[in-house]
Chain A
């Protein structure tokens, strides 16, 4: 039973354009969401997070949008750069309680120069 779903295994985008990575969740107790980026032969690194009290969080070229009613979040990268090519994982947890992060399967983003 996948509680965090990233339905697109891969995405290819032209340099300079917008990349949109999507994530859906099923557990209504989740109220804290994170995106991690992973390069080959490296561990995942934290990118950006959002709490359910907000519907948008922005950090430079990266913006995460949260739609609680649809149980959907998305990561927007504008403009996309070749160095953004990596696997992106969506992760979620309840902010209270003692539950670890649940990760999606990841989306491989390729930014083409």
Chain B
């Protein structure tokens, strides 16, 4: 059973650019959630996808968007990057349906720095 993997692990962008972060969920997990963890903060919920449909969204602007694919992979896209977008972005997969699926299986994260 493979775990959750994310790429890239680190990247640097400049303000105004766009970024795509990728995640491969644990096999058999139809639900993927994305979290943003700023320095010194806990993970904050961005959105969740279930079977390729957005299933819920946190308090993030529309320039944060996502996609989920049938092969258990997913993407987080952020447009018009701002300095405050600098954070660790965590992907988490789970078995359950709905936002309160209980145990989440996290990837190692993608650390984004916006200059």
Chain A interfacial positions (CB closer than 8 Å to B): 4, 6, 9, 32, 34, 36, 41-46, 49, 89, 91, 93-106
> Which B-chain residue is minimally distant from A95 (CB atoms)?
B100
Contact assessment for B42 and A98 in the assembled complex, using a CB-CB cutoff below 8 Å: no
Chain B contributes a number of interface residues (CB within 8 A of A) equal to 26
The residues of A that contact B35 with a CB separation of less than 8 Å are: 103
Q: How far is the CB of A113 from chain B (nearest CB, A)?
A: 26
Q: Chain A contact residues: over half helix, strand or loop, or mixed?
A: loop
**Can you name 13 A-B pairs with beta carbons within 8 Å?**
A9-B40, A34-B102, A34-B103, A41-B108, A43-B6, A43-B90, A43-B92, A45-B106, A89-B42, A100-B33, A102-B45, A104-B42, A105-B40
Contacting A at CB under 8 A, from B53-94, are 56, 58, 90, 92
Contact assessment for B103 and A103 in the assembled complex, using a CB-CB cutoff below 8 Å: no
Q: Chain B contact residues: over half helix, strand or loop, or mixed?
A: loop
> Which B-chain residue is minimally distant from A5 (CB atoms)?
B42
Contacting A at CB under 8 A, from B7-41, are 33, 35, 40-41
Contact assessment for B43 and A49 in the assembled complex, using a CB-CB cutoff below 8 Å: no
Contact assessment for A32 and B100 in the assembled complex, using a CB-CB cutoff below 8 Å: yes
The residues of A that contact B4 with a CB separation of less than 8 Å are: 43
Q: How far is the CB of A74 from chain B (nearest CB, A)?
A: 17
Contact assessment for B42 and A99 in the assembled complex, using a CB-CB cutoff below 8 Å: no
| Distance in angstroms between the alpha carbons of A34 and B6 in the assembled complex | 23
Contact assessment for A98 and B56 in the assembled complex, using a CB-CB cutoff below 8 Å: yes
The residues of B that contact A106 with a CB separation of less than 8 Å are: 42
Contact assessment for B45 and A98 in the assembled complex, using a CB-CB cutoff below 8 Å: no
The residues of A that contact B48 with a CB separation of less than 8 Å are: 100
Q: A4-B42, A98-B100 are in contact. List 17 more A-B contacts (CB 8 A).
A: A9-B40, A32-B100, A41-B108, A42-B108, A43-B90, A43-B92, A43-B106, A44-B43, A46-B104, A94-B100, A99-B100, A100-B45, A100-B48, A100-B58, A101-B104, A104-B42, A105-B41
